[in-house]
Amino acid sequence: MSSLETFFNGSIKTTDPEVYGIIKKEMTRMSEGLELIPSENVVSLAVIHALGSVFTNKYSEGYPGRRYYGGNEHVDEVEKLAIERAKKLFEVPHVNVQPYSGSPANMAVYLATCKPGDSVLGMNLPDGGHLTHGWKVNFSALFFKSVPYHVKSDGYIDIDEVRRLAHEHRPKLIWVGATAYVREFPFEELSKIADEVGAYLAADIAHISGLVIGGAHKSPAPYAHIITTTTHKTLRGPRGAMIMVTKKGLEKDPDLADKVDKAVFPGLQGGPHDHQTAAIAVALGEASKPEFREYAHQIVKNSRALGKSLMENGIKIVTDGTDNHMILIDLTPFGKGKGIFVQDALDLANITLNKNTIPADPSSAFYPSGARLGTPAVTTRGMKETEMRFIALCIAKIIKEVCAKYALPEEKSKLKEYLAKFREEIRSNSVVLEVKHDVIEFCKKYPLYRTLDY
C-alpha cells in the first residue's frame, strides 16, 4: 500500500468518515464520467501527495532568504526549485510562484504596472476574454478604465480594432489571453501594437501554458513583457499561479521583476501556500519530461479530432476548428440560449462541460447559446483520436435530443418554473439514460488512478 493510500484510508477514512464519503463520491463521479471542462485536468498522485504534505503547516511571509518567520530553510528550497524549473521551461529570467490563483496573479500585474484610472485593453468577456482583463463587474474595470476589444465574425481576434483602440486610448496595459478562444494567440502582432503605444503587454496563458511548454502552442516569452498562468489546466498541476517577467519586460523596465514581487507580497497577499508551491514544483518537474511534450501535442490532436467529429455529426463549432485544447460549440442553429439545457442534460449523462457565450451571442451570459469543452483531462486518462469520435457522437445525441424539445420561454417570469420542469423530465429521458450507460462502460477502460483505493 502506498503512503498516499495509507493517508486516505488510515486517516480520513477513520477520523472523518463523513468527509471521506464525500471524497469517495467525487472519485466515483470523476471515474465514471468524461471531464471535458477545458480548465480542468487530472493531476498525478505525486502532485496530490505534495499538496497534502507537511508544508501545509508552515507560515512563510516574504521570499527565499528574506522571510519574516524562522524555520523556512526547506520552504526556501522548494520555492527556489519551483522557480528554477519554471524559468527553464518557459525561458524567462524571473518567476514568482506565490500567487494564490490566476485572478490574484493578474491583480498583481495591475498593481505592478498601472495606477487607478489608467486605461487597459483586454478581450471582451462575451467574446471569450477573462473577467480580470477588464470586464465591467470586475475590479479590473472598477479601478481602471477598461477598453474591450473583440473578435471578428469569423471568431478570430480583430487585430485592426486592437490597433485602433490602442492608438485612441493609449493604454498602460494590454492583455492577450482568454477563457474561450480556440485559435492560436497572435502574440507577435499584439506585441507590435503594445510597442507602438508604449504599453505593457501581459500574456495570460492560464489555459495554454502546458501546450506552450510542450511545444504545441507558440510561446509568448519573446513578445510579452509579463506572462501569467495558473498551474492547473493544461499544465496539470495544483490550483495555483505564477507571474513571469520576460527579457523584453526587463528591457522595458529593469525594476519590473521587483515591482511584480512587491505587488504579490506585501501588496496583495500574506504568506504563500507552501504546500501549493511544493506541488507546483512537482508538476513542473513532470512537465520537463519528454512524455509531457507528447501529452501536450496529443491534447491538440484530440481537440481537433473531437471538433471534426462534432461537425460530422451536425454540430456547429466556432471558427470551424481549433488550434488548442478547447472547442466552442455554437448552438444557434437550434435556437438561442440553449446552453443551459445542453450542460444540464450532458451532466446527467456523465459528460461534464460548461455552458458558454459565443461571439455575438443572441442570448445572455446566464443563458448563453454555446457550450465550451476541452481535452486535457480525457487525454491524461489515455484517450486518443478514436475515442474522440465516440465522445462526439454521445454529445451530438444529447444536443439534438434536448434542443429539439426545449427552449427558453419568452417571459422571464416563467423561466424558473420551466427549468425546474426540464430538469425533472430530463432525468428519465431515454436518450440521456442510454448515453450515461455507454459512458460509464466506456470509462471503465480508462481508470482515473490505477493504484489508489478510495
Q: What is the CATH number of the domain that holds 198?
A: 3.40.640.10
- Catalytic residue, chosen from 35, 79, 204, 323, is 204
Q: Which of 159-163, 303-307, 409-413 has the lowest mean pLDDT?
A: 409-413
Mean of pLDDT over the chain: 95
CB 402 within 8 A of CB 342: yes
Q: Please name the residue ranges forming H helices in 57-170.
A: 73-90, 102-113, 139-142, 159-169
Active site residue 59: yes
- In this prediction the pTM is 0.94
Q: Are residues 212 and 274 in the same domain?
A: yes
Is the pLDDT at 55 greater than 70? The verdict is yes
Number of domains into which the chain is organized:
2
Q: The domain that contains 329 carries what CATH number?
A: 3.90.1150.10
Active site residue 233: yes
pLDDT bin (cut points 50, 70, 90) of residue 4 is very low
- Catalytic residue, chosen from 32, 40, 59, 163, is 59
Radius of gyration of the chain (CA): 22
User: How does DSSP classify residue 449?
Assistant: -
pLDDT bin (cut points 50, 70, 90) of residue 449 is confident
* Number of DSSP helices (H) and strands (E) in the chain, helices first: 19, 15
Active site residue 189: no
Q: Are residues 355 and 254 in the same domain?
A: no
Q: Are residues 89 and 203 in the same domain?
A: yes
Q: Angle CA(388)–CA(29)–CA(129) in degrees, nearest 5?
A: 60
> What Cα–Cα distance (Å) separates residue 205 from each residue in 46, 334, 357?
24, 32, 20
Active site residue 239: yes
64-77 tens-digit pLDDT: 999 999 999 999 99
- Catalytic residue, chosen from 67, 172, 233, 248, is 233
307 within domain boundaries: yes
Give the closest residue to 347 by CA, choosing from 42, 38, 27, 33: 33
Q: Are residues 279 and 320 in the same domain?
A: no
CB 246 within 8 A of CB 327: no
33 within domain boundaries: no
18 within domain boundaries: no
Angle between helix axes 339-348 and 385-405 (nearest 10 degrees) is: 120
pLDDT bin (cut points 50, 70, 90) of residue 454 is very low
Q: Provide the 3-class DSSP secondary structure of residue 204.
A: strand
Peptide bond into 266 cis (omega under 30): yes
181 within domain boundaries: yes
pLDDT bin (cut points 50, 70, 90) of residue 319 is very high
448 within domain boundaries: no
> What Cα–Cα distance (Å) separates residue 273 from each residue in 8, 65, 70, 247, 316?
21, 17, 16, 27, 42
213-269 tens-digit pLDDT: 999 999 999 999 999 999 999 999 999 999 999 999 999 999 999 999 999 999 999
Q: Which three cell numbers stand for residue 100?
A: 494564490
Is the pLDDT at 211 greater than 60? The verdict is yes
96-129 tens-digit pLDDT: 999 999 999 999 999 999 999 999 999 999 999 9
Active site residue 132: no
249 within domain boundaries: yes
Task: Give me the percent of the chain exceeding a pLDDT of 70.
Answer: 97
Q: Which domain holds residue 343?
A: 298-443
Strands 226-230 and 200-204: parallel
- Catalytic residue, chosen from 5, 32, 40, 61, is 61
Q: Are residues 304 and 281 in the same domain?
A: no
CB 207 within 8 A of CB 178: yes
Active site residue 330: no
